Amino acid sequence: MVARATLPGFGLTLGLTLAYLGVIVWLPLLALAAKTAGLGADGFLAAVASPRTVAAFRVSFGIALIAAAFDAALGLLVAWVLVRYRFPGRRFLDALIDLPFALPTAVAGITLASLYADTGWIGGLLEPLGLQVAFTPYGIFVALVFVGFPFVVRTVQPMLLDLEADVEEVALTLGASRFQIYRRVILPALLPGLLAGTALAFARAVGEYGSVIFIAGNMPGVSEIVPLLIVIKLEGFDYAGAAAIAVVMLAASLAILLVINALQAWVRHIHGDG
Amino acid sequence: MATAEQQRQQQGTTRTSIAGTAGRWLLIGAMLAVLGVFLLLPLVFVFAQALDRGIIDYVAALGTPDTIAAIRLTLLIAAIAVPLNAAFGLCAAWCITKFEFRGKSILLSLIDLPFSVSPVISGMIYVLLFGLQGWFGPFLAAHGIKIIFAVPGLVLATVFVTLPFVARQLIPLMQQQGRTEEESALILGATGWQIFRRVTLPNVKWALLYGVLLCNARAMGEFGAVSVVSGHIRGLTNTMPLQIEILYNEYNAPAAFGVASLLAMLAVLTLAAKTLLEWRFAGELGAQKRLH
């Protein structure tokens, strides 16, 4: 523990850090655990396995998964173009990628709902095609694609930068076709970053609330997401029921987090640094 | 027979050698379409809607007492939550990067935890703690202290969701910088506070600013967590994002987009400042760009 010359402030800063985390993070999470434990096994199952809750889980996780996969495809394209090609406005577009991180979710929510409503700029174009987006599960998909968009770009970008053009040239001189280079050289090298980014987008999408509720329509069993169900239970003072669902959500988030950590360790391994 | 060098020259720049020119412009076009529809259009739409009825109506919509109260409340909450989390970030980064101790990686993942919790859950855990049916509910009610459906609850929920921003920016950077400079200062007779002020702080100032900017943007824009603890009392516990929701649900879209345009401007300014810092001080921001 003691290094060469021991800098001061260890006890003070560690103490303050732990105290702060204790009050802000630990104590409230403990209250959540206690509230759920108070339900007992039967009460917990009744709260979590009701048809409405199961349907909400299916909507949240199902659409988040599809949206994350879509983000992976879009993100790969955008990262590729931003890294490999030079064109006017590239830096502006690069900065724009983070917009979904910076734009408050309520702003994104009302904006997407208005854009995709059948009178909106985009909804008006889709409506004649018979495609209704706003106030249907498609609306949830659009919102989740938006909030998860930057993750894949930002994980794939540095990996693409690292990928030496030499490797591709060697493959080219060895007689590989373009398609073979994409499939055998580039895609495997990017895979860990692509998966990590997709998992991050998925994790974010599962818990997302603000940008979804305006566009979702919020029909129980059809377009009701889990976070909204928690809010509805809280508003009905069913705190224990809300806590039970929250515990399941938290467990799922932690599981996704473990996967993400493993993927990021893989990314670092390929990067060759710590 | 062509050498590799000649081949390279024939193919133009090395970076674009695998995709042909046509494929290249196709990909650039596809990317522009994606970014245009998914990112640029929503941003433009916010301002277009806000100014739909002209600048006079725009200003009038922002000048209503409830909206002004919401703006004030949002500024107040950020003014409390951001400095708290900045101080916490410095504190946590100091003990984690300047000392060795057991359980460090657990501490690190604990700091990151709020990022992986749904905003709604971030708010509800305080309701379970301080709400009427919560652990401290009866005690607080007996003493006439209101936390939930009042400003303290809004501050707590905001502190929770923005807790990791500054710490996560500082820790990798300070890890990378090591502690040699601080140890030299110590040997030269500087006190702990002097070391922090004169050595550490100047070394991390841009990363600190970067973290504070992101923390502030999130603090002012947070919706889900504050929505749960707010109680939506007009003029009292409505922050700007909550005010947007109320106006929008009242079919007052121009006013809703008016308030939204202020937050969108904050987002654009934050992105601009962030990008500027990344260009200008890339090396002083730490190993990697943060993902939140």
Domain holding A56: CATH number?
Answer: 1.10.3720.10
Same domain as B111, residue B45: no
Chain A positions in Cβ-Cβ contact with residue B19 (cut-off 8 Å): 84, 178
Parent domain of B44: 18-50
| B101 and B165 assigned to the same domain | yes
Mean pLDDT of B160-179: 94
Q: Is pLDDT at A2 greater than 50 in this prediction?
A: no
A98 in any annotated domain = yes
- C-alpha–C-alpha distance, residues B134 and B136, integer Å: 6
N residues, chain A = 274
Q: What is the number of alpha carbons within 13 Å of residue B157 lying toward its C-beta?
A: 35
B196 and B254 in a single domain? The answer is: yes
| pLDDT tens, residue by residue, B223-260 | 999 999 998 888 889 999 999 999 999 999 999 999 99
Nearest by CB to residue B41, choosing from A93, A95, A121, is A121
Higher-confidence residue of B292 and B264: namely B264
Query: Which CATH number belongs to the domain containing residue B153 in this structure?
Result: 1.10.3720.10
Nearest to A25 among B45, B134, B160 (CB): B160
pLDDT tens per residue, range B71-84: 999 999 999 999 99
Residue B9: band (very low, low, confident or very high) from pLDDT cuts 50, 70, 90: very low
What is the chain A residue with the closest CA to B121? A246
**Co-location of B154 and B179 in the same domain:** yes
Please give the tally of structural domains in chain B: 2
Single out the residue of A36, A19, A270 nearest to residue A155, CA to CA.
Answer: A270
Pair (B40, B183) in one structural domain: no
- Domain assignment present for A12: no
Has residue B201 been placed in a domain? yes
The domain boundary residue, chosen from B6, B33, B50: B50
pLDDT value at position A170?
Answer: 79
> Residue A133: inside a domain, yes or no?
yes
Question: How deeply is B215 buried, as exposed, middle or buried, from its count of CB atoms within 10 A (0-12, 13-18, 19+)?
Answer: buried
The reply to whether A96 touches chain B by the CB within 8 Å rule is yes
The nearest CA of chain B is from the CA of A244 a distance in Å of 11
* B:172-211 residues touching chain A, CB 8 A cutoff: 179, 182-183, 186-187, 191-192, 195-196
Structural domains counted in chain A: 1
Q: Give the nearest partner residue to B291 out of A151, A172, A231, using CB atoms.
A: A151
Helix residue ranges per DSSP H, chain A: 10-21, 27-37, 40-48, 51-84, 90-96, 99-102, 105-116, 123-126, 137-162, 165-173, 178-180, 187-207, 210-216, 226-235, 239-271
The residue-averaged pLDDT of A57-66 equals 97
Helix A187-207 to helix A51-84 angle (10° resolution) is 140
Same domain, B45 and B68: no
**Domain-located, residue A266:** yes
Give a yes or no: residue B13 inside a domain.
no
Q: Which of A156-170, A193-207, A233-247, B1-15 has the lowest mean pLDDT?
A: B1-15
Q: Which residue of B has its CA nearest to A28?
A: B125
Q: In terms of domains, do B37 and B105 share one?
A: no
What is residue B133's predicted lDDT score, i.e. its pLDDT?
A: 84
Top-confidence residue, B133 or A116:
A116
- What is residue A3's predicted lDDT score, i.e. its pLDDT? 46
Look at residue B28 and give its three-state secondary structure: helix
Residues 48-77 of B with CB under 8 A from A: 49
Give the mean model confidence (pLDDT) for residues A7-16. 93
Question: Phi-psi category of B105—alpha, beta or left, where left has phi over 0 and alpha has psi -120 to 50?
Answer: alpha
Residue B7 lies in a domain: no
pTM of the model: 0.90
Q: Decide if B102 is inside a domain.
A: yes
Amino acid at A221: G
Over residues B38-60, the mean pLDDT reads 94
Contact A4 B183 (CB under 8 A): yes
> CB–CB of B166/B89 below 8 Å?
yes
Q: Per-residue pLDDT averaged across A33-39, rounded?
A: 92
Which amino acid, residue A34? A
B37 within domain boundaries: yes
Residue A14 lies in a domain: no
Is A60 contained in some domain? yes
Q: How many residues can be counted in chain B?
A: 292
Structural domain range at position A126 = 39-67+87-150+196-271
pLDDT score at A264: 84
Same domain, B42 and B63: no
Q: Both B139 and B122 in a single domain?
A: yes
In a domain, A166, yes or no: no
B216 and B193 within one domain = yes
* CB-based burial label for B192 (10 Å; 0-12, 13-18, 19+): middle
Averaged pLDDT, B111-126: 94
Asked if residue B40 and residue B78 are part of one domain, the reply reads: no
- Pull the structure tokens for residue B5: 């060098």
Q: How far is residue B186's CA from residue A204's CA, in Å, rounded to a whole number?
A: 44
Statement: residue A81 has pLDDT above 80: yes
pLDDT exceeds 70 at position B5: no
DSSP string, A101-137: HHS-HHHHHHHHHHHHSTTSTTHHHHGGGT---TTSH
CB B208 within 8 A of CB B169: yes
3-state secondary structure of B226: helix
DSSP H helices, chain B, are 4-10, 21-35, 41-50, 54-62, 65-98, 104-112, 119-130, 137-142, 151-162, 164-177, 180-187, 192-195, 201-221, 224-230, 240-249, 253-280
Match 């493993």 to its residue by tokens.
Answer: A262
Residue-wise DSSP of B173-192: HHHHH-SHHHHHHHHTT--H
B204 with B228, same domain: the answer is yes
**If we measure between CA atoms, which residue out of A186, A212, A236, A192 comes closest to residue A47?**
A236
> Which pLDDT band holds residue B290 (cuts at 50, 70, 90)?
very low
Whether residue B292 is contained in a domain is answered as no
Q: Which member of A4, A102, A111 has the closest CB to residue B270?
A: A102
pLDDT at A1 over 60: no
Confidence of residue B12 (pLDDT cuts 50, 70, 90): very low
Q: Do A74 and B34 touch (CB under 8 A)?
A: yes
CA distances from A192 to A99, A151, A196, A197, A199 (A): 24, 13, 6, 9, 11
A7, A157, A173: which to substitute to probe chain B, counting the most B Cβ within 10 Å?
Answer: A7
Task: Look at B271 and A178 and tell me if their CB atoms are within 8 Å.
Answer: no
Mean pLDDT of A39-47: 91
**Does any CB of chain A come closer than 8 Å to the CB of residue B30?**
yes
